[in-house]
């Protein structure tokens, strides 16, 4: 880690993921202290001038949502010549926007579910599903409605007909913004942590909810994160798909790739890439590391090493 002694842990912020970020930041802060460094927690909501971060040798970004993952923060830190964890601005912009992510994956011939860009407003709801050139999705049992830019499964809905589309609009926290309709692929869900261009053991996500929504991620006691039971070929394929997606989006240092394995074809489809994954005690990154006897503190150390 060179001459790094003083580390600022950036967390909190004002996004819908604030509470998760507070937990992530606190865990990282404690780990950094255990590693023997001077660490200070900094709530992004309280920062008036990013220039104050020059007081630190390194900034660990544990800030979720647009403020930490949208790319603007990384650009500002680069402009100030401040060293920080994770991917650069361009990668963050591309991974934060689901439309951009899919376009890049498609160009690189990396499998991802078919999608359609929309503005989720009353016109879409009143006209129904048929207005949106839905031939590409038929026949379908369900489609997903997802914001182009958001995290932690906020405002994601499973749509099967016009009635469920209307219900989604009524329940939507932030309607009247850009969304995508995404093909529903029936299969097993996985996530792969990447640190320093190496994959940790893939996790299979098993849940009782209708899909892996906010409740299933953070609130439910029924969600199971277990080491993926895959044969050697499948294990090689999922790691290869994850690394290819990570590199295609110009990600660096660390991140997490979410995938689904189609139950019919057994092929892996990349759903999204996370540049600032959760680091709570129950998050997928430390869970995956535990399968190879890496402690939470050792994971934080590896992330810092990979970023410097």
* pLDDT one-digit tens code per residue, 127-171: 777 644 555 555 567 788 899 987 657 788 988 888 888 888 888
Report how far residue 4's alpha carbon sits from residue 92's, in angstroms, rounded to the nearest whole number: 24
The verdict on domain 95-111+185-307 having CATH code 3.30.470.20 is yes
**115-183 topology per CATH:** Dna Ligase; domain 1 (3.30.1490)
Report how far residue 159's alpha carbon sits from residue 124's, in angstroms, rounded to the nearest whole number: 13
Confidence band, pLDDT 50/70/90 cuts, at residue 123: confident
- The least confident of 108-112, 123-127, 209-213, 220-224 is 209-213
Neighbouring CB atoms inside 10 A of 300's CB total 27
Q: Which residue ranges does the chain devote to CATH 3.30.470.20?
A: 95-111+185-307
CATH number assigned to the domain covering 6-86: 3.40.50.20
Q: Which residue ranges does the chain devote to CATH 3.40.50.20?
A: 6-86
Confidence band, pLDDT 50/70/90 cuts, at residue 56: very high
Percent of the chain clearing pLDDT 90 (strictly above): 69
pTM over 0.75: yes
Residue 121 neighbours by CB under 8 Å, 6+ apart: 175, 176
DSSP states of 26-93: HHHHHHHHHTT-EEEEEEGGG-S-GGGGGGSSEEEE---SHHHHSSHHHHHHHHTT--BSS--HHHHH
């Amino acid at each position: 880690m060179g001459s790094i002694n003083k580390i600022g842990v950036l967390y909190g912020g004002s996004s819908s993921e604030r509470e998760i970020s507070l937990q992530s930041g606190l865990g990282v802060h404690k780990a950094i202290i255990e590693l023997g460094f001077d660490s200070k927690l900094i709530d992004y909501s309280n920062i008036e001038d990013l220039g104050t971060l020059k007081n630190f040798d390194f900034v660990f970004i544990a800030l979720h949502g647009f403020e930490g993952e949208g790319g603007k923060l990384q650009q500002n830190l680069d402009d100030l010549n401040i060293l920080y964890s994770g991917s650069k601005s361009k990668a963050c912009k591309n991974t934060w926007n689901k439309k951009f992510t899919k376009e890049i994956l498609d160009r690189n011939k990396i499998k991802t579910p078919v999608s359609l860009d929309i503005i989720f407003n009353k016109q879409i709801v009143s006209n129904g599903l048929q207005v949106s050139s839905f031939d590409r999705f038929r026949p379908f049992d369900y489609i997903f409605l997802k914001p182009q830019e958001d995290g932690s499964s906020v405002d994601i809905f499973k749509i099967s007909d016009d009635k469920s589309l209307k219900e989604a609009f009524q329940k939507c926290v932030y309607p009247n913004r850009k969304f995508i309709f995404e093909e529903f692929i029936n299969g097993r869900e996985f996530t792969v942590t990447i640190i320093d261009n190496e994959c940790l053991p893939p996790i299979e996500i098993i849940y009782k909810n209708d899909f892996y929504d906010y409740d299933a991620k953070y609130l439910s006691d029924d969600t199971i994160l277990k080491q993926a039971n895959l044969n050697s070929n499948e294990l090689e394929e999922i790691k290869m798909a994850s690394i290819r997606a990570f590199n295609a989006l110009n990600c660096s240092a660390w991140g997490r790739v979410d995938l689904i394995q189609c139950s019919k074809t057994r092929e892996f489809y990349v759903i999204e890439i996370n540049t600032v994954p959760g680091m709570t005690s129950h998050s997928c990154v430390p869970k995956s590391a535990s399968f190879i006897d890496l402690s939470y503190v050792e994971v934080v150390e590896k992330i810092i090493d990979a970023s410097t």
